[in-house]
Structure formats: structure tokens, C-alpha cells
Amino acid sequence: MGIKFCYINLSLPFILLPVIFLFSCSSRNSSTFFSPDEKIKVIIKTNGGESSDQLTYDVIFANQKILRESPLGFELSDSLILGNSFKIQDIEDTLINEEYDMPFGKFSRIKSISHQYTIYLQDIHGYKLNLVFRIFNDGVGFRYYFPDQANYDKIEITEELTGFNFSGDCSYWGLHLDSYTTAYEKEYTNDKLSGIPDSSLIALPILIRVNQDAWVAITEAALYDYAGMYLKPHQEGSNLLTAMLSPHPVGSGIKVKSNGPRYTPWRVLMIGENPGRLVESNIVTNLNDPPEQDFFWVKPGIALDDWTCDQTVKGTGWEGAMDTRTMKHFIDFCADYGLDYMSIDAGWYGLNWSDTTLDLTKPIPEIDIPYLVDYANKKDVNVFLWTLSNLLIKQIDEVIPLFKEWGIKGFNVDFFDSDDQETVNLVNSIIKKAAENQFMVEFHGIYKPTGISRTYPNLLAHEAVLGLEYYKWDSIPTPEHNCIIPFTRMLAGPMDYIVVGFTNKTRQDYKIVWDEFNSLGTRCHHLAQLVLFETGFQVLGDYPDNYRNGIGSDLFKKVTVSWDETKVLHAEVGDYVSIARRKDEEWFIGTITDWTPRQLNIPLSFLKDGRYQVEMYADTDDADQNPQHAEYMELDATNKDTLKIKMMSGGGNVIRIFPKF
């Protein structure tokens, strides 16, 4: 037995160069592993924990211990505990060097280098379990592998024993949920780990501030045929967060039913010296497999949706409805402002859209879907359709060919509200079926993404966020909430938030009106969302006549969702955030603040040499009292300049920069 070293360059055909190190592992109780830059160190122990025979891991970042003796393992349905009395039998070290393309998101071309360590374990009873740690310069992914063995060909997991034992009482930002059957749509809590009730259920991702120079986010990647993971404190006041899996529908305490051999999803630790480095990380997609087919037909883009404004806004003179006339009106706006998609939302196959007896193949008489698709296509606009999850699942074999006949390019599937193993399998089957038939898809009422868009780029976005639709019935989301989600929910991947409300109100003037789509924060706060929020399907939610000719609406024609590069310029979680994104030679910078007015400096040192044209959309001096007010200005700049921006309460700023020739 020995340590084996391999090198894989995934930008080329696989190259394996094994080197065998001639020292025994069979009697070792611990091993230490490193990231390529050696800034992150992971220590695996088989003699950890209070009992001194528990499988644990430590994580050290920049010589600071982040996690200490964090438990690993499983409890199976026959009361077997996999995690105690293990010995390391062998270790394989593989250097992974790969490059791959993404059609949307923060980088178009991603270079990923990591050390992958496979640790072969066996306990005193002969049970085998493999640990796979992949260590990047910006974090750690690890997963388990159940090898083929006679002891357990059928795997029934009742508990995953994975834990995250932080070295101190850290601050966190987390999403506390009431149950495993929700849509991940609540506000985030900021507190100390010791303040988490022991009954709490925390969704992923969770953001942890270890100290001023070390930040960690926990999430998961490559969720297939497994239950979604949550966290809860080991006990009240503890710094140890333990994994909780969504219960299997069969009950009996089982979380996952499976056959071996198999891998689990990756458990992900994103690590950086500040929260902006986590936003720039690609670790979640890095831990997913490359696509197995050509996705040349995938076209990410910006859409207009009719649901949040209820097809009309009072006082505009337009009384809309779910009918062909109104959808043409929406499509005309899409064409005039260069939007890629019209998303026809709930109601097109029945006004009581939650009725599970309805038929997705039979639109209501008031709306002619094939006509609208043809009308939109002639204006270079494509059509998405909203669907109820259980109806689509029931009718998918009928719906797929019909949607193709109609010319639909994609569909939004809503109301899963679970991530138990069966629901996860249904979601992934929809993604795969859509890919086989060249349909794009996005999900609402669903759990967070896990990087599957790398394998299936036709998956454009998950919702899994308290977004702007809540303005229809509540006074959230607030500007503070918008300054938190880039560092929490968005770390998991593409996010359909529904952006850019133009019916901007102050806190004093705000009122809930179902079909007016009143929104909190200034006009520029909302425009900045086009740049800040990562997605493959950016959805505008206000009424066309509110947007038309409004200051800032020309941005719809200029901005994209497919970025070549992303840089976080300012990051103070919950207070303010500034993100720069590049497409070709153009840069866009989106900045927002909470209810506190702020002035920030935006250094342009990231630009190449040369002269640039700068277009800026900024809060006016009275935007805190008149939040629809904004000003547009133009100026020249070079990479030696610093732009000074001023944001009012609940404000924002958008900058477009492009070379002058």
C-alpha cells in the first residue's frame, strides 16, 4: 500500500502519470493534504473526536485553523455507524488541471486547478468507505464513495454524520427554514453561531465570518439521487454544525435509499480572505462533470414576465389580461428594448393555475400560443412558458413534442418545495429530458442550485430566493436584503430574482398593491441588479409602460447575462456591494447600498491601458425622497482614474465603460 500521484489535464485528453511513493499507509492515523498554493491545508484523522476513534478532518487557511476535528461518516438503517474505528489503507493524489467554458454566469472561460486526494478506508469490521477531497486555492470539496462490497450492496442512510466544527463562536448569515418542504424564500439572519437554537434548520449556502481575514461559505455540489443537505447546531451554543438530510418520502427515518457502488454529492467549503473572493469563486461548477452533449443551442438572456405586474398597472390606461392582445403588447416591448424572451406566466392554460386537473396541452381560449410564438419570432423574441411541476411531470411525454411544435424555447417549472431524494431525481430527470429535446429550463419554488448547469447548460437558473415578487404582498425584500444575497444565496449559482422595479417608493410611501408592483429602493438600486445578480435568465417584472422611456431603461439593450470576467470591488455583507463584470471590451459595474447613504470610490485599475467612455446612472440628490429620480452622465477615463459615486438611502449606481476609438 502507498500514496499514488496522478496528473490530469482536463483541457486535453486525459493524461495519467502515476508515481508510487514507497511508504506504508496501513498503520497511519492521520494524513495532511494541501491546495496547489499550499494556503489551504486539510488534515484527516481516524483517531479524532472525544472517543479518539472517530473519522474527522481539520481545515487550516493561511495558518489559521478554520475547522477542527469535524466529524465524517454515516449512520445506516441497520444501526451501523460508518465513521468509527477506520484505518487508512491507501491514498491516491491526483493533480487536476482543467479549463472549460460556461455560456452564462461570472466567467465565460474557467481555469480550475486542484489536488484531489482519494483516501481508502476500512474499519475493524471490514467495511470500506472512500473519502475524496478536492482542494482548490479558494476552497475545499469533499464527498464519500461507497465501494462495491458484499457487506452493503443496498445503502439506506438514516443520518449523514458530516459536521463543520468551527474554531470559535463565529458570525454567520443563514436562512432559517421552518421545515424541509419550502421554497427557500425567507430573509437571512445574522448572528453568532452560539445564538442558533438547537431546533433550527438552516438551508445552504450559509456564510461564516471566522475573523476579519477568513470567510467560509458552506454549500453542496452535484446533487444527484440524494437528499438535499441542511445544517443544525450539534447542540445549543455549539460551534459544531451538523448535516441534516431531507427525509425520504417512504418515512421510517430513511433519508437516502440507494445501491452501491456510488458517490455522494460534494460538501463544499468556499474559503477566502474576504467575502468578495467567495463571489468570484467557481468551485461549485468545478465540482460538476463536463457536458456529454453539444449545447450550442442554449441561449441565455433577459426576459420580461407578466405575473408580477398582473398584466397591468393602475393609472397607465391599459387594462391587461391573460390574453393574446396583452401578450402581444408585452412582446412588442421586448422587441423594442432588445429583450431575448417573453416569459408567459401562470394562467395561460387555466386561470386557476394551481388546479392539478388542468391540461398543459390546452391553452385557454383567450390566448393563442402558436400565434404568439410566431409573432414573437418575427420580432427576434423567443417564448418561455410557466408550468406547474406536478402537471409537467404527469404530462411531460405529451408536452415536450407539443412545445416543440409550437416553437417554445424553454419552460419555467414551479412548486417543487422539497429536495428529498425523489424530488431531486424528478428535477434532474426534467433537466435531462429538456436537454435531450433542446429546451432550456429554469425552476421556481425549488431548492438552491448545485452547479449542475456545467453538465446541463440548458438549466439557466433556480429561484430559491426571496425576490421582488414579494412586493405584491409584503414590504420585503429590502435594500439590506439585496446586500446580503450576493454573499449567501448567489454563491450556490444562477438566481432568478425577478429584477428592476420602476415603481420606486420610499419606506414612508410604500404600500402593498397587488397589481402596481411597488418597490423599495431607488431607481438606480434596481438598475444595478442587472449587473449584480448572476443568472442565465434575467427576468424583468414591472409593467412595460413603466419601463418604456424611463431613465435607465436603455440599459436593457446594453447589458448581458453572459460575462467573461467578474471582480468584486467592494463587499460589506448587508451594507453595500459593488461588482464589476466584463463582456468583451465592455465593463459594467453595479453598486448598491442598504438604507444608509454612502459614498464609494471605484478605482479603474482593472482596465487595460487606453482611454474609455464612461456612462453612469446615479442617484440624484433628492432620490431618498423621490426614489424614481436618477441622472445619466458621460465622462472620459483611464485606468489611472478613480470614480467617486454617491448613493442615497436605499440607493445604487450603474457604470458602463467601453474603449474610445
Q: Which domains does the chain have, with CATH numbers?
A: 3-286 (2.70.98.10), 301-562 (3.20.20.70)
pLDDT above 70: percentage of residues in the chain: 95
In tens, the pLDDT along 193-220 reads 999 998 999 999 999 999 999 999 999 9
Q: Write down the residue that cell numbers 499507509 correspond to.
A: 25
Residue with cell string 495532511: 32
DSSP 3-state assignment of 402?
helix
- Give dist(CA 407, CA 382) in Å, integer: 8
Residue type, 297: W
For residue 316, the model assigns a pLDDT of: 67
Peptide bond into 363 cis (omega under 30): no
In 3-state terms the chain splits into helix, strand, coil percentages (rounded to 5) of 15, 40, 45
Alpha-carbon distance of 266 to 288, in angstroms, equals: 9
**pLDDT above 60 for 6:** no
Other beta carbons less than 10 A from residue 65's beta carbon: 16
pLDDT of residue 516 exceeding 90: no
With beta carbons less than 8 A apart as the criterion, state whether 235 and 198 touch.
yes
**Predicted local distance difference test score (pLDDT) of residue 317:** 73
pLDDT digits (tens, 9 = 90+) for 423-451: 999 999 999 999 999 999 999 999 999 99
Is the preceding omega at residue 479 within 30 degrees of 0, hence cis? no
Q: Could you give the residue ranges of the DSSP H alpha helices within 314-456?
A: 324-336, 369-378, 389-406, 421-436
Where does the pLDDT of residue 132 fall: very low under 50, low under 70, confident under 90, or very high at 90 and above?
Answer: very high
Model confidence pLDDT, tens digit, residues 161-182: 999 999 999 999 999 999 999 9
CA 602/CA 604 separation, integer angstroms: 6
Q: At what angle do helices 369-378 and 389-406 cross, to 10 degrees?
A: 60
The rounded distance, in Å, linking the Cα atoms of 359 and 395 is 8
The answer to whether the CB of 362 falls within 8 A of the CB of 573 is no
Residue from 412, 409, 350 nearest 376 by CA: 409
Mean pLDDT value across residues 355-376: 96
Cβ neighbours, 10 Å, residue 61: 23
Residue 645 has pLDDT above 70, yes or no: yes
